Amino acid sequence: MYRIYIAALDSYACSYLDGYSDSSCLNNASAVRVINCTKKYCVTMRVELLRNSSKVMSFLRDCQDEPVMLYGNRPDETTRTYYTSCQKNQCNGHNGRVKNSTNGIHNAIVPGKNAGQGLSFTSLPFLVFLMPALWQLVLEIETLMRT
């Protein structure tokens, strides 16, 4: 009988949704929880407004077997979504936008294609990103109701 051992990654895991979440996930990875993940990649996904790139609409730190994109960004009519993935412990502690050669990120940021080839704001990656933020909100409400 053979046994397969999967090396687990320690990954930051949190979500941020503008107006609904504490900004620790976005601004201070060391203040959020670290999970022991058996998936292949630590990831971040950062969604910011095109007209005001300092306005981050949502942010995710997580681990996944198959990231939407290993590294790069996709614009749509109103937002730009940045994707990063890496394969070292806690390598998703960066801002989700800038390549850091020491953290195991695969590629540099690739300029987006024209808006016609981007994803819409309500596309699958946005919905995948929104779900953890909503789940976090539900858990916070349940905690408040218990006290």
Spatial separation of the C-alpha atoms in residues 18 and 57, rounded to whole Å: 5
pLDDT at 79: 95
pLDDT at 139: 60
Categorize the per-residue pLDDT at 97 as very low, low, confident or very high, splitting at 50, 70 and 90.
confident
Three-state DSSP class for 133?
A: helix
Q: Averaging pLDDT over each range in 50-54, 65-69, 82-86, 138-142, which range is the top one?
A: 82-86
What is the phi/psi pair of residue 120, to 5°? -80, 160
Res 133 pLDDT > 70 = no
pLDDT at 113: 39
pTM for this entry: 0.65
Res 118 pLDDT > 50 = no
Spatial separation of the C-alpha atoms in residues 144 and 103, rounded to whole Å: 37
Q: Are 106 and 127 in contact (CB under 8 A)?
A: no
Q: Averaging pLDDT over each range in 78-82, 94-98, 105-109, 118-122, which range is the top one?
A: 78-82
Neighbours of 115 (CB within 10 A): 13
pLDDT at 1: 58
Task: Render pLDDT for 25-62 as a digit per residue (tens, 0 to 9).
Answer: 999 999 999 999 989 999 999 999 999 888 999 999 99
Please give the average per-residue pLDDT across 92-96, as a whole number: 94
Res 102 pLDDT > 90 = no
* H helix intervals, 1-123: 24-27
Task: Render pLDDT for 7-26 as a digit per residue (tens, 0 to 9).
Answer: 689 999 999 999 988 899 99
Q: What is the sign, positive or negative, of the torsion defined by CA atoms of 85, 87, 92, 93?
A: negative
